Chains A and B, each alone.
Chain A
């Protein structure tokens, strides 16, 4: 029997996209389990047997204080060494929506000089409200292993109130582009950078997702796990949905990489 990559979908109080993320990884050919971080802190469970860790979407601790902040603070206190070890072993980390907020606030992304220090953030949308809408994403660099076989635009949904990407300063922004760490940018259906609603939250540089220096950690606001079945698409009755525009492609890339290099 062919071995499948093992995926840990993490969960905290208020995480709410864990189940569909698990299903998405399973449909794409992985073995996924939901792991509560409380059990990791208490050392009742460990990440040792996993190849991919996903911080899924949701409202960890209700976005209290700021989105992702409380979960990030906990991890910083109870679990960061283990997580760093996991990353050093060449394994993969994906943060989606609230998960991206956690990775950014932890400083795991973008970790420009490979230093874990927060240099970007995700703040309130320009519209000041939660919005659920479908967006087009342009692949802006090939650095991330998650976008390897991707060409053309991705079409997947965002659903958040705090998704406006900002950087500490202009230098950080320039460096992100220079290092090819900007993985996804919001574009319109023709592939051009554009204002609202193509850029749904006012992100600087239209940035929707970034990776670390190794390309093995990806954080993105849009939800690939909600774009796995053709019937997930708002337009499946009108248009033929091609797999290459679907969120599942990102997940398959991760699993393929894990199969090739980690199994």
Chain B
């Protein structure tokens, strides 16, 4: 029997969710909608419910007596029957956290007759809406057909298909020719190329047997771009020069060259590790989740966050996540709906979905999201870029791991389903119990509470030293996690022991499923009992599924039958290096000719309301950026808590002043001109921001995240090489090590047969240590009468600037970097902060000096007078160039008069000048040789800056 309960907010109360949807509907251009009311639907499956049970569940468990109404005999109707009703259900196999929680709760309190539950969202829409408009609302706002369906079936709980019989399948490859080998790779969705297939063929020929399907899958997963970074580690022929291993030749080499003693573990583990103090280390990892976020923004971004948090938990013996970062690139929010190609979600929807996904995962896990930025550009219309970072803290003694011979392999956390199995095909029609189609793995919904419980339980087990190694199940699922952990020893594993979400998975699906919220640990038998107690206390599912044994082999069994036996050495060491061609030549853009007469006031206000520069407060406030009580510099600062910070400062221990500074640098527009200088500028920007937050540039580490387009195109691969060279030179010159990184290549969208690659986008994330959080400055002007200084020289570097963007130009004079001077500047500015003479500092980046000073005024709700002629420059610059050039190595600093001498002494040796004063005028006044050239009211600046990005 199916029972149906509907719950909705009382008609007398405001329905906030409904109203939010109404707002979005109006944004779609449908003006006829009068009201939207949200109704939650629970469908219960039970053989028979006892009398009174259904009403008890509806009344006591599923509704709130103060705020809700419920109905278990029919529909809730707020207005009347003629309203439009739509009901959205999850497709079978898609995570439905509310249903799971409810089912568990009912069982726990003794209502055991319920077999299954599904939740749905129902909407009552009133007003003047026709069928076509309703369909538009549903498809554009209320559902995503990859995970949901618009259901007219009122009662059923959608189920997975019946269990499948175990079929052991061999794949014949030994006698196949090249063409056939490629066909096997293609039809098996293995993404292996011919050289790789031949290597595998050769292996099995020597073994004198044909491989099982799961063996091919395992090799394909292990040798995938995702797992081994074929391109980055492969052979690249660049402008005729041969690079053996780009990663080793640039990023890794830089770290080796700068050779910093605070690096504890680099490029080896799931995250990079640096020393914090003598007892604790800090971990940092940043991941991309571009593709899933394009298809299902909420689930994609949420599971991106969930994944990188698991990376932290899977570093060393498990670091505790203490902060997150998020950096996004989206298409323009105002992009006309009508021009949107089919198959592409509107940027506004991606924006809202991605932020909600990161918000819900981070907030629910109790991990503050402390730093980030957003870039809006039409280049990201087809493929958004979603970076999620996670910072963790770990007792120094727990920084390394290795499974021991004889340890049990324990999988814990979420159960395994069909999620993520080669992006299974989806059905667009309605599904029912007979349907065999499950949701695509490319799109998943996470369950942060499952991961939170897992985190709590694992940290407890770690502190009791119950396991010897840990890693997360990410891409490739168990195959990657167990395969990597057992690389040095060997693995014997029984696939039928893996806890499943539902029946009907084949053994190979269990092995490569990418179901969320799972970790693998290596546990000595003697600790299993205690481990069980801890897991039970935290309600965490787990199972012992095999053993690490010194066999050098990966052996998989399903119901006692052997289905895989591969040599670890072959799997991990014998993949053929890829060979690719790359080419780069500087592209010349039209050199813009702009009028002499530029209205500075107008330009500054336009820049302040450029979506890349404008306030992201509406996003920042949705993230819990303070949970865990470590926050010492928040993303928003100043008199009204709305000025932009350059980064975040965390103080992890209340009895110590030592802090962690988290910042980033990103500017894909420079890469259009030259990816080399993009990389260099991004590294300096990240470090500059770090210094602005009081971080020590000589105790800093950086992470690289490349989001690139189609790297089979030599030009695009050439950009990657060029950017890597920039990374190497800048890191070495600025003496900062890379500790971790990730590349997401092939961000391509096929539009009518034409490949659309994203703008090559490099994110540099930076972590640095500060000795005393109480000395860390912020970006808001503090007091009228204080002096304003500039540090650094302004050059005519308008290429890729936001100023030229206002005129739809790119230009060529991309900001470059004087490496030696940059190193000196960063050190000296930090020294001045350490001396305690800097309370306010802001870096000059997008929008140059003009935007930097405006932001400082907004933060402090004060004013400033600036004398343009005092700004240090190289060559002849017009006023607009002086104000909006984006030259590197520049800071704006506010200094008390009494500290003038100390500051100047600290900073001596790098270019600096006093350029003006803080005033309580509510205006930015610009003078040039005693002539007033512009006056900009703070009210205008605040309005332009704050009102651009709306939810």
Residues of A within 8 A of B (CB): 11, 13-14, 16-17, 19-20, 23-24, 27, 36, 38-39, 57-59, 61-66, 69-70, 73-74, 77, 105, 118-121, 123-134, 157, 159, 164, 166-168, 202, 223, 225-226, 228-229, 231-232, 234-235, 237-238
Contacts and interface: CB of A to CB of B under 8 A. Distances in A.
Interface stretch (B394-402, B701-709, B734-742, B773-781): B773-781
A231 B694 CA distance: 14
A62 B629 contact: no
B773 A232 contact: no
A61 B453 CA distance: 10
A58 B20 CA distance: 24
A20 B651 CA distance: 12
Interface centre among B108, B621, B839 (most CB of A within 10 A): B621
Given A39-B537, A237-B839, A73 B105 contact: yes
B41 to A, nearest CB: 13
Contact of A159 (B65, B538, B626): B626
A67 B105 CA distance: 14
Contacts of B453: 13-14
Interface of B: 9, 13-14, 16-17, 19-20, 60-62, 64-67, 97-98, 100-102, 105, 108-110, 359, 363-366, 447-449, 452-453, 456, 537-539, 621-629, 631-632, 634, 636-639, 641, 651, 654, 773-774, 777-778, 780, 782, 839, 860, 951
A16 B778 contact: no
B365 A125 contact: no
Contact of A64 (B97, B452, B538, B641): B97
Given A124-B16, A126-B16, A226-B629, A73 B65 contact: no
Given A123-B67, A237-B782, A17 B627 contact: yes
A235 B628 CA distance: 19
**Nearest 8 pairs between A and B by C-beta?**
A16-B366, A20-B629, A121-B66, A128-B16, A64-B101, A128-B20, A62-B449, A124-B16
Contacts of B621: 131-133
Interface centre among B13, B627, B631 (most CB of A within 10 A): B627
Contacts of A231: 632, 651, 773-774
A45 to B, nearest CB: 10
B934 to A, nearest CB: 27
A65 B7 CA distance: 10
Contacts of B108: 74, 77
A157 B782 contact: no
A167 to B, nearest CB: 7
Contacts of B13: 123, 166
Given A73-B109, A225-B629, A123 B539 contact: no
B629 A237 contact: no
A234 B641 contact: yes
A129 B627 contact: no
28 contacts: A11-B456, A13-B453, A16-B364, A36-B537, A38-B538, A38-B539, A61-B101, A61-B449, A62-B448, A62-B449, A69-B64, A73-B105, A74-B105, A105-B64, A119-B66, A123-B9, A124-B16, A131-B621, A159-B626, A166-B67, A225-B629, A226-B629, A229-B629, A232-B626, A234-B634, A234-B641, A235-B639, A237-B782
Nearest to B21: A128
A159 B17 CA distance: 18
B102 A65 contact: yes
B449 A235 contact: no
Tell me the interface secondary structure of chain A in the complex: mixed
Contacts of A133: 621, 641
B623 A132 contact: yes
A77 B60 CA distance: 12
Contact of B654 (A27, A70, A73): A27
B101 A232 contact: no
Contacts of A131: 621-622
B951 A121 contact: no
B402 to A, nearest CB: 29
A50 to B, nearest CB: 19
B64 A17 contact: no
Given A65-B61, A120-B66, A131-B622, A235 B782 contact: no
A131 B654 CA distance: 25
A159 B627 contact: yes
Given A123-B13, A231-B773, A118 B65 contact: yes
A57 B64 CA distance: 20
A125 B16 contact: yes
A38 B537 contact: yes
Contacts of A229: 629, 651, 654
Contacts of B839: 237
A10 to B, nearest CB: 13
Contacts of A235: 637-639, 641
A109 to B, nearest CB: 12
B10 to A, nearest CB: 9
A140 B906 CA distance: 51
A129 B951 contact: yes
A73 B453 CA distance: 19
Contacts of B64: 66, 69, 105, 118, 121, 123
Nearest to A41: B108
Given A27-B654, A62-B447, A229-B654, A20 B628 contact: yes
A126 B629 contact: no
Contacts of A238: 638-639, 780, 782, 860
Contact of A234 (B19, B359, B365, B637): B637
Contact of A130 (B17, B622, B777, B780): B622
A132 B641 contact: no
A62 B101 contact: yes
Nearest to A231: B632
Contacts of B359: 130
Given A77-B109, A134-B641, A237-B778, 17 more contacts: A13-B453, A14-B453, A16-B627, A23-B629, A36-B537, A59-B448, A62-B449, A69-B64, A74-B108, A119-B66, A123-B16, A125-B16, A128-B20, A132-B621, A166-B67, A228-B629, A238-B860
A39 B110 CA distance: 18
A128 B452 CA distance: 24
A125 B452 CA distance: 24
Nearest to B356: A129
Given A62-B447, A74-B108, A167-B66, A24 B452 contact: no
Contacts of A134: 641
Contacts of B14: 126, 202
B582 to A, nearest CB: 45
Nearest to B540: A13
B782 A73 contact: no
A157 B631 CA distance: 12
B363 A59 contact: yes
A209 B109 CA distance: 30
Contacts of B860: 238
B109 A74 contact: yes
Contacts of A74: 105, 108-109
A259 B777 CA distance: 40
Nearest to B655: A27
Contacts of B62: 65
A26 B648 CA distance: 26
Interface centre among A120, A232, A238 (most CB of B within 10 A): A238
Contacts of A124: 16-17
Nearest to A125: B16
Contacts of A62: 97-98, 101, 364, 447-449
Contacts of A24: 629
A129 B356 CA distance: 9
B629 A132 contact: no
B628 A19 contact: yes
Nearest to B19: A128
A127 to B, nearest CB: 7
A208 to B, nearest CB: 17
Contacts of A129: 20, 622, 951
Contacts of B622: 129-132
Interface centre among A36, A61, A167 (most CB of B within 10 A): A61
